[in-house]
Structure formats: C-alpha cells, structure tokens
Amino acid sequence: MRILSAKDYEQMSRKAADILSAQIILKPDSVLGLATGSSPVGTYQLLIDRYRRGELDFSRCRTVNLDEYVGLDDSSDQSYAYFMRKNLFDQINIDPANTHIPSGINPDTDGECSRYDALIRSLGGIDLQLLGIGNNGHIGFNEPDDCFAKGTHQIRLAEATIQANKRFFAKEEDVPRFAYTMGIRDIMQAGRVLMIASGARKAAIVKEAFFGPVTPRVPASILQLHKDFTLVADEAALSAL
C-alpha cells in the first residue's frame, strides 16, 4: 500500500491524472476501471485537458465502470452512464463501443451480473482501477456486509449511502434503493488500484479502512491486501492519521 499526500483536491486530481496518464501512454489499449462521484471529476477534467493538448490518446482504451443505479436508463441524467459521458467520454476520443457500464434497466439480475463479469474477463481483466470511497467504506457500491461479495451483484444501498448521494437528486425519495456493482473480486483482480479521497468528511473512514483491521464491515479495508494499491489523498482526508 502506497499513500501519496496532496495539498488539496486540485493537487490530488493532478497526481491521480498523472498515474492514469502514464498507464495510458505505457499501454495504449489499457482496460481502465472507472468510478463516479465528486472525487474523480477533477481527475477526468485533467485527462480531457491533456487529450485536447494532444498528450493523450484514448482511441485504443477500453473502460469498465464500477456501478450503476438499478432502474435508471443511460439517458437519465442521474445515471452513472450519463455522468461518464458528460464528465469524460464525450470529451475525449474514446470509442463509445469500448466503454462499459452495468445496465441499470436489465430486469434479469443474474443475467446482468454474469454478463458484466464475463465482459471483464473477455477484456483480459482490469489494468488500473480508479476508486473513490464512501463515508461508510464502500467501494463501487460494495456496502458493509458480513462477507466480501465476489463478482458483480445487485445490492440494496445502505442508508448512509442514500443520505450521502441524495445531493445529486431533487429529493431523497428519488435516490434509487438498489444498484449493480462490480464485486470485491473484480476490484482485487485489477493489476493496479488507485483510490482518491478528498476532504475532512473522508478522514475518519480513510483511517479506519487503511489503519484498522481488514473486514467486510469496511469494504475498502481489503485493499490493504492488494499487491499494487495507491491511495492519493489530500491533507484534509489524511487529517485523522
């Protein structure tokens, strides 16, 4: 486990964008595992800037996103598919056919989960997985549980997650209660894992996840066991250490 400290959100985003850029330059057909939320927006903007300056080429990259809300189709402006198009895909030269996100509207839950796991396998696995962290330690939408979930699965969002994510919706009732998420096995099998964390509201969970015991009650804690895990966090997120 490597921890890189950054002064603030902007510097955290720059350090994360540097790691992602190096991955894309060294392996132009990389499989990138991507995340949503507020944390990666600055990182994605820097990747867009570098693409516009001719420093990055996404034409051979493939992407798999961590998760999607159940019940939202990809045209819904609250869906993670929409988020990814708006914050990254529509502004770089990636082939939309090479971007993958679980389908929130597939009513066949088992079918969607096995389709997504088979897709990740068919791409040869994830080279670099980008992650944020939920206030309760969730990664993707792997919520605190009694055991670590393996593959892609459908979960009921924890109350803490509904509370944290309601800021993106007009009202709390609009927050979907279920989501599809890659499992812990999918994330742990990635060649490299890069987590970004910013702000004082992440300080307690960063300490618990990476300086406490490895437990499914704090899903991110399993990353302590990953062979190539880097946390890039700003001073506020590291302030409890």
Identity of the residue, 54 or 196, whose beta carbon is nearer to ligand GLP in the bound complex: 196
* Edge-to-edge strand list for the sheet holding 31-34: 2-6, 229-234, 192-197, 128-131, 31-34, 62-65, 99-100
Q: Cβ contacts of residue 84 below 8 Å, gap of 6+? A: 34, 36, 63, 65, 99, 101
CB of 58 to ligand GLP, least distance (A): 21
122 phi and psi, to 5 degrees?
Answer: -65, -25
Sign of the C-alpha dihedral computed for residues 28, 126, 198 and 179 taken in this order: positive
What SS3 state is found at 177?
coil
| 138 flagged as catalytic | yes
Radius of gyration of the chain (CA): 17
Q: State the nearest-atom distance from the C-beta of 66 to ligand GLP, in Å.
A: 5
CA 71, chain centre distance (Å): 20
Instruction: Clarify whether 136 is annotated catalytic.
Output: yes
Tell me the closest approach of the beta carbon of residue 57 to ligand GLP, in angstroms.
26
Residues lying near ligand GLP in the complex (CB under 6 A): 35-39, 66-67, 132-134, 140-141, 161, 165
Given 112, 117, 127, 143, which residue is catalytic? Answer: 143
Instruction: Provide, rounded to whole angstroms, the least separation between the CB of residue 139 and ligand GLP.
Output: 7
Active-site residue flag, 67: yes
Nearer Cβ to ligand GLP (94/206): 206
143 belongs to the catalytic site: yes
Residue closer to ligand GLP by CB (options 66, 232) is: 66
Question: Could you give the residue ranges of the DSSP H alpha helices within the chain?
Answer: 9-26, 41-52, 80-87, 109-122, 159-165, 184-188, 203-211
We find the least distance from the C-beta atom of residue 53 to ligand GLP, in angstroms, to be: 26
- Residue 97 vs 170, nearer CB to ligand GLP: 170
Query: Catalytic pick from 65, 112, 138, 186?
Result: 138
The residues near 58 (Cβ < 8 Å, ≥ 6 apart) are 24, 51, 92, 93, 94
Nearer of residues 140 and 183 to ligand GLP, judged by Cβ: 140
Q: How far, rounded to the nearest angstrom, does the alpha carbon of residue 196 sit from its chain's CA centroid?
A: 9
Contacts (Cβ under 8 Å, ≥6 apart) of 102: 65, 67, 68, 112, 116, 152, 180, 181, 182
Marked catalytic residue, from 136, 165, 186, 226: 136
What amino acid positions are annotated as catalytic residues?
67, 136, 138, 143
